[in-house]
């Protein structure tokens, strides 16, 4: 750890607890800062708040009123999911108090090598693959993953040393609140239009994503998906050394796929068919991970070992179980249309799709080409149910059933499907209408599948 950062010995308000707020509050205290924690959840069921109070923190619960901050504070550390329209955040900005997020604090205090991964889809898979590959690198003693993957960076840097590497998944919400964040290697996996309720415009969303490379220099590396002209143009904003990867073109430098073979810098690495996780999108994810691994001298043998044994990340087209001939997959992380399109293209067999969730104002007609001829049955629930039905009817999906919730959706999907079908939870929407997180939604899906299995096997 670094002995000092710009956030040491300051007066700081942490807004919002959960995992990252809890972890960064403790880190800031270790850095000598005076910390006040504000969380809108009442104290009665707020275990993180109770623990911080027991540790001597000043914690205010049940409110996030603007009056809780004044110009004596040096910084506000905001939970990434809290909107900038929040009254307390707005008041901080009026007082010219910088509003930052947890990765900024963690980076400032860590002297480990940082690899940062962002993109609309595939971030968690790429982050995990890179970390598994870098375990075999001769350049690092240990490799860790952290960030939006569900593990606060502030926790990981407590054990990571200058001889280690921390592979960090970074969302647009996290990146928007960064100032000095400077990964040695940054990965841009892709960019589609999502989270526009938070960022308001696609331009703002892209700007937040590009914070991952804004502090990079020619001594750093920016690994970019080269599949579209837009993403290639974004690379021009970076001062880092650009390393492209693509699954739709051959490249003189970087990683690509040709005739079913993955190459890096024109040298064969492995056959695409040996990648364990299903779907063409996972070829792209593998190319991104290989691009990083090769920077750190990971052997082809070790790369092949990882890609031929890795079975996927929980909630990302995660295989759950097979019974009655039906295969169940949990893709709760598909919080946008693009992610569901990716999931639908991953399977060759007929699909019974479970979809629906929070209504963010968008439509679902982009799903139509992927629904046509692929989705035999559709079970929908949640705020977006009627919108999804409207698009599915345009795609000539023959059998559509609307239910109230996920508990009803799982047995209904089984009832409507045939043996050898895939039953896929891929909501194409955020979870916040009925769940706190996409993880909670995915966990309930798994529980409902287990319950159904017990009933079927009676």
- Binding-site annotation: residue ranges for ATP: 119-125
Contact 142, 196 (CB under 8 A): no
User: Can you tell me which residue has the tokens 């799709």?
Assistant: 353
Return d(Cα 20, Cα 441) in angstroms, integer: 20
What is the DSSP-derived secondary structure letter of residue 398?
Answer: S
What is the DSSP-derived secondary structure letter of residue 66?
Answer: G
Cβ partners under 8 Å of residue 150, min gap 6: 19, 439
- Burial (Cβ within 10 Å: 0-12, 13-18, ≥19) of residue 76: buried
Q: Is 261 helix (H, G, I), strand (E, B) or coil?
A: strand
Contact 389, 367 (CB under 8 A): no
Cβ partners under 8 Å of residue 82, min gap 6: 15, 16, 89
Return d(Cα 240, Cα 221) in angstroms, integer: 5
C-beta neighbour count of 330 within 10 angstroms: 27
Annotated binding site: 119-125
What is the DSSP-derived secondary structure letter of residue 211?
Answer: G
Mode of pairing for the β-strands spanning 165-169 and 143-147: parallel
Contact 254, 291 (CB under 8 A): yes
């Amino acid at each position: 750890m670094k002995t000092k950062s710009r956030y040491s010995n300051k007066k700081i308000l942490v807004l919002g607890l959960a995992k990252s707020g809890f972890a960064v509050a403790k880190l800031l205290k270790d850095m000598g800062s005076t910390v006040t924690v504000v969380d809108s959840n009442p104290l009665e069921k707020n275990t993180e708040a109770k623990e911080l109070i027991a540790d001597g923190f000043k914690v205010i619960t049940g409110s996030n009123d603007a009056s809780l901050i004044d110009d004596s504070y040096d910084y506000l550390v905001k939970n990434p999911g809290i909107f900038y329209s929040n009254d307390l955040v707005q008041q901080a900005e009026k007082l010219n108090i910088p509003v930052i997020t947890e990765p900024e604090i963690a980076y400032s205090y860590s002297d480990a090598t940082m690899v940062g991964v962002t993109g609309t889809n595939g971030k968690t898979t790429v982050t995990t693959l890179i970390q598994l590959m870098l375990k075999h690198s001769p350049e690092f003693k240990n490799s860790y993953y952290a960030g939006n993957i569900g593990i606060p960076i502030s926790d990981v840097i407590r054990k990571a040393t200058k001889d280690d590497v921390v592979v960090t998944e970074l969302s647009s919400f996290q990146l928007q609140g960064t100032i000095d964040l400077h990964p040695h290697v940054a990965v841009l996996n892709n960019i589609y239009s999502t989270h526009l309720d938070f960022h308001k415009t696609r331009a703002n969303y892209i700007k937040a994503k590009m914070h991952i490379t804004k502090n990079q220099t020619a001594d750093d590396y920016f690994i970019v998906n080269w599949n579209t002209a837009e993403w290639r143009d974004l690379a021009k904003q970076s001062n880092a050394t650009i390393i492209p990867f693509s699954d739709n073109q051959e490249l003189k430098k970087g990683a690509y796929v040709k005739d079913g073979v993955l190459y890096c810098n024109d040298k064969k690495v492995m056959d695409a068919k040996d990648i364990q996780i299903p779907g063409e999108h996972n070829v792209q994810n593998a190319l991104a991970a290989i691009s990083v691994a090769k920077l750190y001298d990971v052997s082809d043998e070790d790369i092949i070992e990882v890609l031929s044994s890795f079975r996927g990340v929980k909630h990302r087209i995660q295989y759950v179980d097979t019974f009655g001939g039906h295969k169940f997959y949990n893709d709760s992380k598909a919080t946008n249309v693009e992610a569901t399109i990716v999931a639908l293209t991953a399977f060759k067999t007929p699909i019974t799709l479970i979809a629906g969730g929070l209504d963010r104002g968008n439509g679902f007609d982009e799903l139509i080409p992927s629904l046509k001829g692929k989705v035999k049955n559709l079970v929908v629930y949640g705020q977006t149910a009627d919108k999804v039905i409207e698009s599915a009817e345009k795609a000539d999906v023959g059998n559509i059933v609307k239910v109230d919730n996920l508990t009803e959706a799982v047995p209904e999907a089984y009832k409507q499907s045939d043996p050898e079908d895939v039953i896929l939870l891929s909501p194409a929407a955020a979870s916040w209408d009925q769940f706190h997180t996409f993880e909670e939604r995915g966990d309930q899906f798994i529980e409902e599948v287990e319950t159904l299995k017990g009933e079927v096997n009676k």
